[in-house]
Amino acid sequence: MFKQLKPRKLCQAMVVCSLVFSGAASSAEYRIKVSHSSPAVNDRLEASLQVFKQNVEARTDGAVSISTFPASQLGGEREQLEGVQFGSIEMAVLAGPVSSIYPEVLVFDLPYLFKNQEVAYQVLDGDFGQKILDGMLPKTGIRGLAWGENGFRHFTNRARPISSPSDLNGMKIRTMENPAHMKMVESFNATATPMAFGEVYSSLQQGVIDGQENPISLIESMRFYEVQEHLTLDGHVYNPFMFIVNNRFFERLPDEYQTVIQEEARNWANIQREFNAEQENKGLQKLKEEGMQVVELSDEDKQLFREQTKPVYDFYRKQLGDEIIDELMQAVAMAEGLQ
């Protein structure tokens, strides 16, 4: 049996989908909804998915039609995952809740795992990353297609600069609904407060939470600088996107269309990473111009944070087993050796 999420809002998502598509005229043989939670405009994820859409539709001569649903239009990330698992949404690009049905993906959320993006790419695009993608299908009924890039995650807050782990003491920090992220925040003696991405801005604005952690691209595109004063570039987690598809739908596609989807998903990964790099470079400058106080940590500073999060590794060795953690660390060491 697959491990399934409880369909808390599945019916709601299905109603939305049916309303959107009722009466839609199309000559396409196969229609695909691709859902995600990033902004609809001025964001690297939606822009890269438009390239994916164009390429797939062109290569299938319009037999496959793709519609994207950004900005949590079909529900939060958890509801999107439910939709893909149960089949009301064909595809999604997610960064958060996959671990609730496939815990092995948590290995990439271990704090301070990757020193830089090049190491992350080597591991994710190598044998170990493919093993994690492939392992999702038999356990969930969802096929993992490719790894994209949400980016290195950093802390923002409204209270004070964070230059050492003790500066996080007592803060309420929003996290994704992800146990590894929550454990990391708690290791700094802060309170992890998981909530849907679409609720973060208002919660920061109203003081429900003190801070949050996200990549530069989302901090900028979601205008968190309007309600946060301090940014610390600690890069505590490299957060990949996972491009997923409902396998029942996927296997109903003709073989040649399956090949197109798989090839264009891998092509999407490269394009999306390029778009993300551009957006992060521009985004950091924008955050500074908007008045955010930016703390850049030295390697010695980061080591203090790294040391304090060691219990997270110990916890996940117990949860996931020594074998997968050791295999991951070997892949990381090999990637670092290639630099």
**Per-residue model confidence as pLDDT tens digits over 261-271:** 999 999 999 99
Domain-located, residue 131: yes
- Asked whether residue 206 falls in the same domain as residue 323, the answer is yes
- CA gap 256, 157 in Å, rounded: 49
- Please state, for a pLDDT cut of 70, what percent of the chain lies above it: 92
Domain-located, residue 47: yes
pLDDT at 339: 75
- CA gap 152, 147 in Å, rounded: 14
- CA gap 271, 55 in Å, rounded: 12
Total domains, the chain:
2
Domain-located, residue 8: no
- Asked whether residue 268 falls in the same domain as residue 319, the answer is no
pLDDT at 2: 62
- Asked whether residue 234 falls in the same domain as residue 324, the answer is yes
Amino acid at 202: S
Domain-located, residue 201: yes
By residue range, what is the domain housing residue 172?
Answer: 152-238+291-337
- Asked whether residue 110 falls in the same domain as residue 251, the answer is yes
Between the alpha carbon of residue 167 and those of residues 171, 213, 313, the distances in Å are 9, 15, 22
Query: CB atoms < 10 A from the CB of 285, how many?
Result: 12
Reported as a single tens digit per residue, the pLDDT across 130-176 is: 999 999 999 999 999 999 999 999 999 999 999 999 999 999 999 98
Domain-located, residue 2: no
- Asked whether residue 162 falls in the same domain as residue 272, the answer is no
Q: What angle do helix axes 127-140 and 322-337 make, rounded to 10 degrees?
A: 150
pLDDT at 93: 98
CATH at residue 113: 3.40.190.170
- Asked whether residue 184 falls in the same domain as residue 246, the answer is no
Q: Decide: helix, strand or coil at residue 190.
A: coil
- Asked whether residue 80 falls in the same domain as residue 184, the answer is no
Q: How does DSSP classify residue 336? A: H
Domain-located, residue 62: yes
Query: Which residue, among 55, 238, 247, 34, has the nearest Cα to 134 in the 3D structure?
Result: 247
Domain-located, residue 299: yes
Q: Is the dihedral of CA 175, 179, 185, 191 positive or negative?
A: positive
- Asked whether residue 246 falls in the same domain as residue 277, the answer is yes
- Asked whether residue 129 falls in the same domain as residue 186, the answer is no
Domain-located, residue 6: no
- Which residues of the chain register pLDDT less than 50? 7-25
pLDDT at 274: 97
Strand pairing category for 242-246 and 30-35: unpaired
- Asked whether residue 92 falls in the same domain as residue 183, the answer is no
Cβ atoms of 336 and 115 within 8 Å: the answer is yes
Cβ atoms of 201 and 158 within 8 Å: the answer is no
- Asked whether residue 226 falls in the same domain as residue 171, the answer is yes
- CA gap 125, 224 in Å, rounded: 31
What does the chain come to in residues?
339
- Asked whether residue 127 falls in the same domain as residue 252, the answer is yes
Q: CA torsion, points 19, 22, 26, 31, in degrees to nearest 10?
A: 50
pTM: 0.86
